[in-house]
Amino acid sequence: KILIIGAGGQIGSELTQALRAKYGNSNVIASDINYNNVALVNSGTFEILDAQDYNAIQICCKKHNVKTIYLMAALLSATGEKFPIKAWDLNTESLFHVLNLAKAKLIDKIFWPSSIAVFGPTTPKENTPQYTVMEPSTVYGITKQVGERWCEYYFNKYGVDVRSIRYPGLISWKTQPGGGTTDYAVEIYHEAIKHKKYECFLSEDSRLPMLYMDDAIKATIDLMDADAEDIKIRSSYNLAGVSFTPKEIAATITKHIPEFEISYNPDFRQQIADSWPGSINDDEARAQWNWKHQYDLDAITKDMIKHLKA
């Protein structure tokens, strides 16, 4: 059976749906720290589970005969800057618990998300390579960098089959994201449809790597389905989709909503965005488990507006 920890979140909720469609509803257990995502709670087996509680995770795995865990619980970049110790504790303790369950042979396989947030101001900004300088300047980025090192260590030292992707900013319509710096690229669609205007918390030329959620979910499942010997990287894979600025995404929205207006009022999230790459090189993912993104920016805007207008 599969357990998703943090199933109520932006990625977790879509991952749960996709995994249930692929493996059958009864083989996928969703869990989160609260019942907030009511649709998720009512969509199949659901458990309240604290990602920082090793015993609770162990009991849940034994109760449901869980062999694969997707650990999707974390505090993201913006929230992490407001609550640094909470972000450090949650993001790192949860990973250690899951890695140790695999080391103890209670579970066989782990997915753990990293992020382009592992890169920092000294990282080459364009076409950022898989192997490069990384001095993350956010707590969230630090937790992802240290998490990648531990994933690789547990694979090399204990043979733990942990797999990871450095997600870019993710865009989806099913679940509102929470606490990310890239979330402007989701909010903008909701605001454009509701109010035909949006005040962006990043400057107009802030270029960031982004990926549509459908592509991100496909990549995640493809990576977990790949043969272990095809996976040469056990820290975390770079993954690229589209890179764009707030000005560019606004222009694609205006094609659908001519009267849409964007204004800019950068806040504390601007320096987080400025510390991240503008574009990512994902040659290794493409070569090792034939990753390829489908959605370009126009396709993303078309799909987002279609679903949000409905």
Residues contributing to the site for ligand VAH (CB under 6 A):
76-77, 115-117, 140, 168-170, 180-182
Give per-residue burial for 269-287: e unless 16+ CB within 10 Å, then b: bbebbbbbbbbbbbebbbe
In whole angstroms, give the CA distance from residue 32 to residue 16.
12
23 a catalytic residue: no
Please, what is the minimum distance in Å from the beta carbon of residue 144 to ligand VAH? 8
What is the C-alpha to C-alpha distance for residues 197 and 261, in angstroms, rounded to an integer?
Answer: 5
Beta bridge partners of 241: none
| Closer residue to ligand VAH (CB): 10 or 37 | 10
| Least distance between ligand VAH and beta carbon 264 (Å) | 18
- Residue number closest to ligand VAH, CB atom: 180
Residues 34, 91, 138, 118: is their CA dihedral positive or negative?
negative
CB closer to ligand VAH out of 47 and 81 = 81
Q: Of residues 140, 198, 212, 295, which has the active-site annotation?
A: 140
Cβ at position 181, least distance to ligand VAH in Å? 4
H-assigned helices in the chain: 10-23, 38-41, 54-64, 77-82, 84-103, 139-158, 184-195, 213-225, 246-256, 269-274, 283-289, 297-309
The CA R_g of the chain, rounded to the nearest whole Å, is: 19
Query: Could you count the other beta carbons within 10 Å of the beta carbon of residue 174?
Result: 11
Specify the residue, 4 or 66, whose C-beta has the smaller distance to ligand VAH. Answer: 4
Q: Is the Cβ of residue 69 or residue 179 nearer to ligand VAH in the bound state?
A: 179
C-beta separation of 4 from 31 below 8 A: yes
What is the number of other CB atoms lying within 10 angstroms of the CB of residue 222?
15
What is the closest distance, in whole angstroms, from the C-beta atom of residue 182 to ligand VAH in the complex? 4
Rounded distance between C-alpha atoms, residue 1 and residue 105, angstroms: 15
Q: Whose Cβ is closer to ligand VAH: residue 102's or residue 139's? A: 139
> Taking the complex as a whole, how short is the minimal distance between the CB of residue 168 and ligand VAH, in angstroms?
6
Q: Is 7 exposed, middle or buried (0-12, 13-18, 19+ CB in 10 A)?
A: buried
Residues that are catalytic: 140
